[in-house]
Structure 1
Amino acid sequence: MERNPFRSLERQFENLQRQFEAMGDVWDGEQLDVPKTGIATSRLDVDIADRGDEFVVSADLPGLESDDINLRLSGDTLHSTAEHERAEHDADEHYLQSERARRAMHRSVRLSEPVDEDAVEATCENGVLTVTLPKAEPTALEGTKTDVQTRGST
């Protein structure tokens, strides 16, 4: 049994998000044989592991450096973007086709438990991004305490 009763609903929303992103590829001309804008945009595919005391998010980003990657944690959502712009071509070279000028990837991942924002670590090694998000310590229940009074029975 899952700890989060809304996880199945979240999975449905994630599937819906992937379908909308796939439709965006069609509308961008990728599958309609329409000229491209020069920017290849795609969804960043990730693996998410729950290791008990931390989440580990991994993504393949071949050819990108750490300066090309932007990570932002907003509440329980990790936002990832990666953008790479290739250097200009040498004027003496003649290219028959050039499709790698610029590419961008993005993804927002909602985590099922709060994380310690100050302890998040990210590394990029050999084209693999690894983000470690330690889970936050449980906090006391918030709210106002109400005392229960006992009334005598008659």
Structure 2
Amino acid sequence: MERKTKTNAAAKETSLAKATSPFAWFDEVDRWFDSFRRNFEDRFWGGPLARVTGPEAPVREPLVDLIDKGSEFAVRAELPGVAKEDVDLTVTSDGIEIRAESKRSREENEKDYFYSERTYQAFQRVLSFPEEVKADLASATLKDGILEVRIPKKEPTPEKKPVKVPVD
């Protein structure tokens, strides 16, 4: 037999209100994932991952394009807010590694207040080339947050032209 309490009544009202919203199940799925993450962190690391990894933001994979230009490969990577001095680029005969890190801080002192902001972002991406390249002839430029790397192939292949196919 169920005891009627204010808590049970409030819980029923909440679940009824959620049932009327067509997107209520998204909230429920979010709660499940949050619960899973907390249980996982507690079990394997003894608490939130932030305690293990520190306060820094995680390393992100930049969005990239790998383009076959026939005689060379072109790699374009999005590195917003990163200066060229903060990019570490390594090219081998079969792949490329892009690393970048950006740190900024800003402080203002006024008569009645103190203002301080810090940002940190890190990027890392490793790609393999489908053909062997001449790593020692690679060149790179960074403009408007886009890193472009050009790497000549060891044995150039003719550029493949796309063929338009009609759809019936």
Matches within 5 A, 1:103-114: 103-114=121-132
- Tell me the equivalent position of 1:77: 95
Given the superposition, is the C-alpha separation of residues 38 and 118 from structure 1 closer, same or farther in structure 2, using an over 3 Å criterion?
closer
SS of the residue corresponding to residue 90 of structure 1 reads strand
1:120 and 2:138 equivalent? Answer: yes
Which 5+ residue runs of structure 1 have no aligned equivalent? 1-22, 139-154
The alignment status of 1:87 with 2:105, answered yes or no, reads yes
The normalised TM-score by structure 1 is 0.59
Q: Is the 8 A contact 1:80 1:106 kept in 2?
A: yes
- Which structure's residues are more often helix, by fraction? 2
Bigger CA radius of gyration: 2
1:68 aligns to 2:86 (yes or no): yes
Q: After TM superposition, which residue ranges in structure 1, 4 or more long, deviate above 2 angstroms?
A: 32-36, 87-95
Query: 1:125-140 residue pairs with structure 2 within 5 A?
Result: 125-137=143-155
Q: Is the 8 A contact 2:92 2:135 kept in 1?
A: no
Hey, what's the Cα distance between the residues in 1 that align with 2:152 and 2:128?
14
Deviation at 1:79, TM superposition (A): 0.4
Query: Normalized against structure 2, the TM-score is what?
Result: 0.55
Shift of the 88–94 alpha-carbon distance from structure 1 to 2, 3 Å rule, reads: closer
Across the aligned residues of Structure 1 and Structure 2, the Cα RMSD in angstroms comes to 2.8
Using the aligned pairs only, state the percent identity: 30
For structure 2, list consecutive stretches of 5 or more residues without a partner in the other structure: 1-36, 42-47, 157-168
